[in-house]
Amino acid sequence: MKNPKKSANAEKQKRFREKQKSLGKKMVRGYVTPAAMENYKEIVAKTGWTDSDVLSNALRITFAAYKNGQIRLLNQWLTEQDQKKRALIAKQAKVNESEEKDGKKE
């Protein structure tokens, strides 16, 4: 015997997916790196966009960079930002280590 709540929820999800398809939307999913997740959280906090809005706008911005020949520049900027962040984390780790050593000596 089927659980009526489960089948009702499945029907509701099916109707929602069909409605989105009829509006011309397509579901896209994937896994993101921790760095990308931090960026995502910052974007949501500053813009108030939904998950769908963030993904749609990210794709549109990337496409605009591609169409205007700026993909290399965009990738270069992202790489530089990652390097700066890694350097900052390494520097902070060294500071923490030295503080721990100083604390143990006292």
% the chain with pLDDT above 70: 94
Query: Is 4 a member of any domain?
Result: no
**Residue 22 to residue 15: CA distance in whole angstroms:** 10
Residue 8 lies in a domain: no
**What backbone torsions phi and psi does residue 91 show, to the nearest 5 degrees?**
-65, -40
Residue 97 is part of which domain span? 70-106
Domain assignment present for 97: yes
pLDDT, tens only, 48-67? 999 889 999 999 999 999 99
